[in-house]
A and B are shown apart, each in its own frame.
Chain A
Amino acid sequence: MIQFLSYLVNGISLGSVYAIIALGYSMVYGIAKMLNFAHGDVIMVGAFVSFSATQYWGMSPLVSVVVAVAVCTLLGILIERLAYKPLRSATSLAVLITAIGMSWLLQNLALLIWGANPKSFTSIVNLGSIVLFDGQLRITSEAIVTVLANIVIMLVLTQFTGKTKMGKAMRAVSEDRGAAELMGINVNATISMTFAIGSGLAAIAGVLLCSAYPVLMPTTGSMPGIKAFTAAVFGGIGSIPGALIGGLLLGIIEILGKAYVSTELGDALVFAVLIIVLLVKPTGLLGKKVHEKV
C-alpha cells in the first residue's frame, strides 16, 4: 500500500511536468493551430541554460531558472518570427515539417554547444525530502516543488486567459482568427505572446524534469515532448484544465505501468490508454466537440 503511495507520488510529480509542457503545446495548438514539434527541444534548451548558469557562471539555482525562462521566452519568439510566421497561410503539413526542421536545428545546435556527452544535472531544489511512515514513504522536495509549481502556473494561466486583455485576445484568436482580426486584435502579437508563454513554461518544465531525472543530453527533450503532446491531446487539445488532467493521468499511468506491469511496456501502456480515450471521446477528455458543417 505504502509502495503504491510512493509510486503515486512519483506519478503525480512526473505528471505535473508533463502538464506544464502540455500547456505550451496546447496553447500554441489552440491559437496557431499548429503542432509545434520543436517544443520538446525548448525544454532541453531551458535545462541546458540553467545547467550552464549554475555550473559555469556560478549563479544560484533560482537565478539560473529565471535566466533559463528568459532565454527560452526569447527563443520561442525568435522561432515563431523566423520560421512559423512566414508560413501563416501555408498548409498545416508544411508548418509541421518546418517545426520538425526547427527541432533538429535546436538539437544539433545544443550538440555543438554542449557536446554529446550526457551531463549530470544538479537538482535546483536541495531541501531534503519528507519522510513518512517510518521511512517507508519518501517524498522528495523536487516532487513537492514540481507539484506546487504546476498548481501556481495553472492558477495564474487560468486567471490570465480569463481576466486580462491579452488573455481574452488569445481566446478570441483561438475561437476565430479572422473575426478576431476584424475586431482589431493584433493576431501576430497574440501568437507571439502565446509562443513566449509556452516557451517560458517549457524552460521551467525542463529544469523541473532534469531535477527529478538528472540526465541531460541534446535529445533529452524529445520523448517528454512527445508524451506531453500526447497528454495535451488526451485532455483535449486547446484546453488548460485538459492539459492538467491529461498530464497528471499520463504521468500516473506511466509510473504505475512501469512499476506493476513491466518497465519496457510503460510507454506502450500510456499510448494504448490514449488510443482508447480518443476512440471513446475523439476530441480528448475535456475537448470541445466541433460540429461539422455540410
Chain B
Amino acid sequence: MKMKKFKNLSGNLITYAMVVVAFLLCELALSGMIDGFKMSRSLKGQLVPICVYIVMAVSLNLTVGISGELSLGHAGFMSLGAFSGILFSQWLLSAFPQTDLALVRLVGALITGGIVAAIAGVLIGIPVLRLRGDYLAIVTLAFGEIIRNLLNCVYFSLEGASVHFSFLDPNLPGTVVINGPMGAIGVKKLASFEAGFLLVLFTLVVVLNLINSRSGRAIMAIRDNRIAAESVGIHVTKYRMLAFVISAALAGMAGALYGLNYSTVQAAKFKFDTSILVLVFVVLGGIGNIRGSIIAATVLTVLPEMLRDFGTYRMLIYAIVLIVVMLATNSPMLRSTLDGLAGKLKNAKEGDKA
C-alpha cells in the first residue's frame, strides 16, 4: 500500500516536472537563449492553444478515463466558458475604463468561465448521468449542439457598467460584445503563455489530487463496477456528478483563456469537431492516463503546423496517422506480432549471454 502511494506520488511529480521543464524550455526558446533554435511565428501562436487543449484533454480524461463516461459535448462547456469569460472581462473594462485591471480581468474571466460551465455541468449532468454507455454519449453530443445553437442567438452589449441582453434580437444600445452568430467581437486579448502554463498547473493539481483522493477512488470504483460500488455504500450519482462538474468547470476555464486569445470568437469554433478533437487527444494519450493526455494534446496540436509543408495533403496525412496509430495500438494481430518480435529479441539476447 505504501509502495503504491509512493508510486503515485512519484508519477505525479514526473508529470509536474515534465510540464515545468517544457514551459521553461519554451520560455528560453522564446527569449532566444538557445542558439540555433528559433520558434517559428506559427508555433508561437500555438502556445496558448496548446495550453488550452492540454487543459481540455486532461479535464475530458477525468470524465472519459477516470469516471468512464464517453462525453461528446466537451466543447459546449468550453464555449460557455469562452463567452462568459469574455463578457466578464469586457464588462470590467467598460465599467472601470480608467484603472488598469488586466490581471484581475484575466483571472476574473477564468473564474467566471469556470463557474458558468460548472453550473451548466450540474444542469446537464442531472439528466445525462441517468443514462449509460452510447446513450449518454449521444445526449452529451446533443447538449453540445444545443449550447452552440443557443449561443448563436444570444446578444450582449455594454453601456458603462450596465449589461444589456437580448435573445434573437440584434438591436441593443451601447457597444455590442457578443453578437449572435458573429460571436464575441472586439475582444481585448489578455491570454498569455504564462497564464496558460499556470492554468495547466492548476488543472493538474485539481485532477491529480482528485484522482488520488477518497473521492477519486470512489469515482474509479463506480467506473469499474457500478453495482459493486453501490453495494459498499458509495453514493453513485454524487461521485459521477462530482467528476462531471469538475471536468466541465475546467473546460470552461480553458474556454475563457481560449476566448481571450483572439479578438473575435464565434460559437461555430466550438462545434462537434472540437469535442471530437479533444476526445482524440484523450484516447491517443491513453484513456485514464493524465500524462498521456498532455503529451498527445501537445503533439497533435503542433503536428498540423509541422505538416504545413505538405499543403493540401496536411489533414489527409493527419487522418491517416490517426488511423494507423489506432490500428497499431489496438489491433490484437499487430500487437501479437510485435510482442512475438520482442520476445524473439529477448530470447536471442539471453542466448548470447548463455
Contact A101 B332 (CB under 8 A): no
Contact A275 B153 (CB under 8 A): no
Within 8 A of B (CB), among A214-265: 222, 226, 229-230, 233, 237, 262, 264-265
Whether, in the assembled complex, B3 has its beta carbon less than 8 Å from a beta carbon of chain A, the answer is no
Interface string of A171-189 (1 = CB under 8 A from B): 0000000000000000000
Contacts of B312 in A (CB 8 A): 111-112
Contact A105 B316 (CB under 8 A): yes
**Given known contacts A90-B331, A93-B283, A282-B131, is B145 in contact with A101 (CB within 8 Å)?**
no
Contact B323 A275 (CB under 8 A): no
- Among the listed A102, A237, A262, which residue makes an inter-chain contact with B134, where contact means beta carbons less than 8 Å apart? A237
Whether, in the assembled complex, B313 has its beta carbon less than 8 Å from a beta carbon of chain A, the answer is yes
How many Å lie between the Cα of A294 and that of B137 in the bound state?
A: 23
Contact A268 B145 (CB under 8 A): yes
Contact B139 A278 (CB under 8 A): yes
Closest A residue to B150 by CB, please name it: A268
Contact B138 A274 (CB under 8 A): yes
Closest B residue to A100 by CB, please name it: B276
Contacts of A282 in B (CB 8 A): 130-132, 135
**Given known contacts A104-B319, A279-B127, A282-B135, is B142 in contact with A98 (CB within 8 Å)?**
no
Contact A109 B316 (CB under 8 A): yes
Contact A264 B318 (CB under 8 A): no
**Given known contacts A230-B138, A264-B152, is B316 in contact with A97 (CB within 8 Å)?**
no
How many Å lie between the Cα of A283 and that of B135 in the bound state?
A: 8
Contacts of B135 in A (CB 8 A): 233, 278, 282-283
Contacts of B313 in A (CB 8 A): 112
Contacts of A283 in B (CB 8 A): 135
Closest CB pairs A-B (n = 9):
A268-B149, A271-B142, A104-B319, A101-B322, A90-B330, A86-B331, A105-B319, A101-B323, A108-B316
Q: Which residues of A contact B (CB under 8 A)?
A: 29, 35, 37, 83, 86-87, 89-94, 96-98, 100-102, 104-105, 107-109, 111-112, 222, 226, 229-230, 233, 237, 262, 264-265, 267-268, 271-272, 274-275, 278-279, 282-283, 292, 294
